[in-house]
Amino acid sequence: MRHSRLLPVFLLCLLAAASARAVSFVSAADAPNATAGLLRELNRGVEEARVIIGIRDGTPTARRLLASPDPEGEPERRVLRVGAQKRLAEEMTPRRFAVKHYYESFSMLAGTATREAVLTLANHPEVAWIALDRQAHLLQTAPQSSQVLIHSDRANSLGITGAGQAIAVIDTGVDYTIADLGGGSFPNAKVIGGTDITDKDSDPMDCEGHGTEVAGVAAGSRGVAPDAKIVAIKVFSSANASNSSCKDTADFSDIYTGMDFAVVNKATFGISVINLSLGGAFEDSLDHGYCDTDEPGSAAAVDAATAAGIVVVAAAGNDAITNQLSVPACVSSAVSVGAVYADNRARVSWCGDDGCATTLCTDQPVSPDGIVCFSNSMSNLSLLGPGAFWSVATKGGSPVSFSGTSASTPAVAGAVALLRQARPELTPAGEIGVLRSTGKPVTDARNGVVTPRVDIFAAVQLAASSFAVSSAPAADIPDGSGSATATATISGFTRPVAAVQAWVEINHPEPEQLRLTLIGPDGTSALLQNLMGVSQHPINAIFGRAEFASRQVNGVWTLRVEDLVPGATGRIKFFGVTLIPLAERPAVTKRSSSSRTPRTLNPRP
Ligand SMILES: [Ca+2]
Ligand SMILES: [Ca+2]
């Protein structure tokens, strides 16, 4: 039916999206007074920047005054300084430049400038220099917006920091010499193990920076799980002996070897999650749901790691497509991760794969929990995480802005490490069930898909008695007659129940052949979905139901799935139940009870 072929290699650049980039490149010659940091920011594609401008106002420099103090002359200098600042600000009309601060004591001016204004200022005769207002770097210990968005800072403050957990980063290697990732030699206190698969040595030194940035998001000092350890598994080959650059692609086979290393060494290092911020694309533009059949190697590797108790998180991809996920994110047992913004921005443009000759897509305006336009999406997407913008240390230790589903994926890897610390009894499916059930539903306006954005604080707070997942392996659904079931057992829940959420994942190529029924412990039943859905769009939904509100909730909950049409078969991949206590999370309860429609994560047919 589908004749898709997959690219034989992973293209790192597809998922790195290390930056939003400019519509037009700005060189140092274009902006002679701009600092290198500001040029980099412009070339990430920002439409405006917070800047600080050094002004030539005729007064002596601060250094000269330090050497030769002249307190009597200061009142006059203040007048001169502010006068020059105000003249410049007025010249740069408010549309192009908005003043934030004038400074009486300094020959500087702070404000927000458009790209156009930055270029004008960087060539202005009265401007000595113009620099990026690097506020974030002055607040190194404050949580960054991506941490705040998923509440990992609040979980961390409860002592849930990822202690005792290790995250296997399968990537370009990790720079373990930087202070944020242990410092010194390999292994160290942070990067506790690893290997280099492609260069066939034991030293996983990063050859690009990507893997270092991934590790920083997951387990750096300003990452999600700051006390988690890193196992660095390098699968992109170094282009030279000095590890100063990587080859562009990695073979699937090497990535599987890296996953194998993680599974074999799970107990040695305490690996709870594998991070795959990489992927390959389908060559066609057809709808693709789960890709287990198309990609048996990836399916086998992810299945095996999951069976070993390791959660495998994989980047959804940065191709701005809305009916496919990258490989291996599309594997049904993988936890696929898309990207949302964590900040407000006026406008962000992202580059194409052609070295920024074209713009891939643009978001305008940008706000927290807005889907980033590059983020691949499909009804089998598991979770969303902050993917723009992370401030992390890269190879060599300098701070960079890191974006992409490559960045949102380690945010979820860190969240998994936190949850594993808080609830070590959960299976990988149970952990993802908790993360999904407690996440904030975010709708992708491009395709109608609703996906939970991780809220790790809510996840670690969810009471064990209000959540249960199926512990049985995936169940085959009989084709054309009969039914398959999955069960989840709740016990010890004592509070009044407002609503029930059933999490259902079914891998079936023709979901419109299916009827889904939820049956409570006392026999009360609710039809969740009946002969609806779209071909190649797997069922991956959280159904909120209110008819169980006054019913018995402790006991066995059953999901019954009937396939009413011969031909095309599938499996129940996952079933979990969350009880919503009365007067808690009222928004969810109200929405579910008033509409009585499933809050489905599938696009409507
Ligand atoms: Ca090496
Ligand atoms: Ca069928």
Domains and CATH numbers, the chain: 23-132 (3.30.70.80), 145-341+373-461 (3.40.50.200), 464-581 (2.60.120.260)
Query: In the predicted model, is pLDDT for residue 577 greater than 80?
Result: yes
Q: How far is the CA of 166 from the centre of ligand 1 (A)?
A: 21
Average pLDDT of the residues in 519-527: 95
For residue 176, the ligand closest to its alpha carbon is 1
For residue 571, the ligand closest to its alpha carbon is 2
Other beta carbons within 10 angstroms of residue 284's beta carbon come to 13
Query: What is the C-alpha to C-alpha distance for residues 197 and 200, in angstroms, rounded to an integer?
Result: 5
- Cα three-residue angle 213-234-317, rounded to 5 degrees: 55
Contact 198, 236 (CB under 8 A): yes
Per-residue pLDDT at 392:
95
Find residue 350's DSSP bridge partners. Answer: 361
Give the chain's length: 605
Query: What is the C-alpha to C-alpha distance for residues 562 and 518, in angstroms, rounded to an integer?
Result: 12
Q: What are phi and psi of 171, to 5 degrees?
A: -165, -145
Q: How far is the CA of 288 from the centre of ligand 2 (A)?
A: 18
Query: What is the C-alpha to C-alpha distance for residues 88 and 184, in angstroms, rounded to an integer?
Result: 48
Average pLDDT of the residues in 293-315: 91
Nearest to 415 by CA among 154, 64, 597, 603: 154
Q: How far is the CA of 212 from the centre of ligand 1 (A)?
A: 14
Contact 155, 461 (CB under 8 A): no
SS3 540: strand
The amino acid sitting at 544 is G
Q: How far is the CA of 279 from the centre of ligand 1 (A)?
A: 21
Residue 215 CB contacts under 8 Å (≥ 6 apart), including other chains = 167, 169, 171, 174, 181, 191, 223, 230, 232, 410
Residue 35: pLDDT band by 50, 70, 90 thresholds? Answer: confident
Average pLDDT of the residues in 555-583: 92
Per-residue pLDDT at 181:
97
Which pTM was predicted?
0.74
Q: How far is the CA of 570 from the centre of ligand 2 (A)?
A: 8
Residue 207 CB contacts under 8 Å (≥ 6 apart), including other chains = 172, 173, 234, 236, 237, 238, 239, 243, 244, 245, 246
For residue 186, the ligand closest to its alpha carbon is 1
- The helix or strand, by DSSP H or E, that contains position 411, with its residue range, turns out to be helix 405-422
Query: In the predicted model, is pLDDT for residue 99 greater than 50?
Result: yes
Query: In the predicted model, is pLDDT for residue 20 greater than 70?
Result: no
Q: How far is the CA of 278 from the centre of ligand 1 (A)?
A: 19
Q: How far is the CA of 185 from the centre of ligand 1 (A)?
A: 13
For residue 205, the ligand closest to its alpha carbon is 1
Nearest to 173 by CA among 157, 155, 153, 193: 193
Contact 130, 35 (CB under 8 A): yes
Query: In the predicted model, is pLDDT for residue 411 greater than 50?
Result: yes
Q: How far is the CA of 563 from the centre of ligand 2 (A)?
A: 5
Query: In the predicted model, is pLDDT for residue 5 greater than 60?
Result: no
Residue 560 tokens, joined: 């019954």
Per-residue pLDDT at 63:
67
pLDDT tens track for 229-267: 999 999 999 999 999 999 888 888 999 999 999 999 999
Average pLDDT of the residues in 130-142: 50
Q: How far is the CA of 204 from the centre of ligand 1 (A)?
A: 5
The amino acid sitting at 154 is R
Q: How far is the CA of 452 from the centre of ligand 2 (A)?
A: 29
pLDDT tens track for 114-124: 998 999 999 99
Q: How far is the CA of 296 from the centre of ligand 2 (A)?
A: 22
Per-residue pLDDT at 235:
94
Query: In the predicted model, is pLDDT for residue 224 greater than 70?
Result: yes
SS3 396: coil
Per-residue pLDDT at 134:
57
Per-residue pLDDT at 141:
41
Q: How far is the CA of 562 from the centre of ligand 2 (A)?
A: 9
Q: How far is the CA of 252 from the centre of ligand 2 (A)?
A: 32
Q: How far is the CA of 329 from the centre of ligand 1 (A)?
A: 26
Per-residue pLDDT at 142:
60
Query: In the predicted model, is pLDDT for residue 422 greater than 80?
Result: yes
Q: How far is the CA of 555 from the centre of ligand 1 (A)?
A: 53
Q: How far is the CA of 205 from the centre of ligand 1 (A)?
A: 6
CB within 5 A of ion ligand 1: which residues?
196, 199, 201, 203
Q: How far is the CA of 510 from the centre of ligand 2 (A)?
A: 7
Query: In the predicted model, is pLDDT for residue 557 greater than 50?
Result: yes
Q: How far is the CA of 245 from the centre of ligand 1 (A)?
A: 12
Q: How far is the CA of 274 from the centre of ligand 2 (A)?
A: 34
Average pLDDT of the residues in 325-337: 94
Per-residue pLDDT at 217:
97
Q: How far is the CA of 503 from the centre of ligand 2 (A)?
A: 22
Residue 72: pLDDT band by 50, 70, 90 thresholds? Answer: confident
Q: How far is the CA of 539 from the centre of ligand 2 (A)?
A: 14
Query: What is the C-alpha to C-alpha distance for residues 167 and 229, in angstroms, rounded to an integer?
Result: 6
| Chain centre to alpha carbon of residue 138 | 24
Distances (CA, A) of 369 to 73, 142, 195, 492: 52, 20, 36, 35
For residue 172, the ligand closest to its alpha carbon is 1
| Chain centre to alpha carbon of residue 75 | 52
Residue, of 332 and 144, whose pLDDT is higher: 332
Using the structure block, give the residue that is written with the tokens 């957990």. 165
Contact 424, 416 (CB under 8 A): no
Q: How far is the CA of 202 from the centre of ligand 1 (A)?
A: 6
Average pLDDT of the residues in 549-559: 93
pLDDT tens track for 373-387: 999 999 999 999 999
Q: What is the mean pLDDT of the chain?
A: 86
Per-residue pLDDT at 111:
87
For residue 236, the ligand closest to its alpha carbon is 1
Residue, of 420 and 19, whose pLDDT is higher: 420
Per-residue pLDDT at 554:
95
